Amino acid sequence: MSAVPAARGLEARSLGCMRNDRSLFEALSFRLAPGQALLLEGRNGSGKTSLLRILCGLRRPDDGALHWDGEDVFRLGPEYHAQIAYVGHRDGVKHDLTAGENLKVARGLGRPNPALSLEQALDQVELWDHEDVPARNLSAGQQRRLALARLLVTRAKLWILDEPFTSLDSHGIGIVESLFAQHVADGGMLAVTSHHAVSWNDTDIIRINLSP
């Protein structure tokens, strides 16, 4: 009898997380498959960012296990990290570098996406004429779009995003929502926290509310 192949994607099994002797969440299970988005909801302090840190492999859960394609994330280590890209609620943009240089660094730290040039990535976030502009000279919304453009220059399958719409106006939100929808349509995965009401009408979204 042939072995049953492991489920593809990210699987959480009975995750639990404590902070200062207080349980943020417990017995949390879900499976995020290619072509799906995970939307984490809940009030401030409910554990959304802590869960994202676990999903990034930066913190071990206090209970349960996290698997990627059937393998324990924390055993995979760098092999798992090569599959993910993270943008936090802070942009993480290097202000002394130009927009193009920021993307060049991001591409060098991950698995480069050969299908997209740095110029094309900037074009997709409507920063096509800002390649040589120091990041410090960009507006807050432009810096946020630059931070999110880093997702495009690597071949990460799972994008993990903490409040990605921060500092964006309605036009910028529309640009970013289109990028997310396309990533999922191409078989990618998203894990997102957001206070913004998402409108990915054709996206398969798993919603988890961490507030009790």
How is the chain split into domains, by residue range?
33-59+73-209
Q: What is the pLDDT of residue 198?
A: 72
Predicted confidence (pLDDT) at residue 6 exceeds the cutoff of 70: no
pLDDT score recorded for residue 107: 93
- CATH of range 33-59+73-209; options 3.30.43.10, 3.20.20.150, 3.40.50.300, 3.90.1720.10: 3.40.50.300
- Token look-up 């092999």 returns 79
| Cα distance between residue 23 and residue 2, in whole Å | 41
Q: What percent of the chain has pLDDT over 70?
A: 95
Do 53 and 29 contact (CB within 8 A), yes or no? no
pLDDT above 70: residue 9: yes
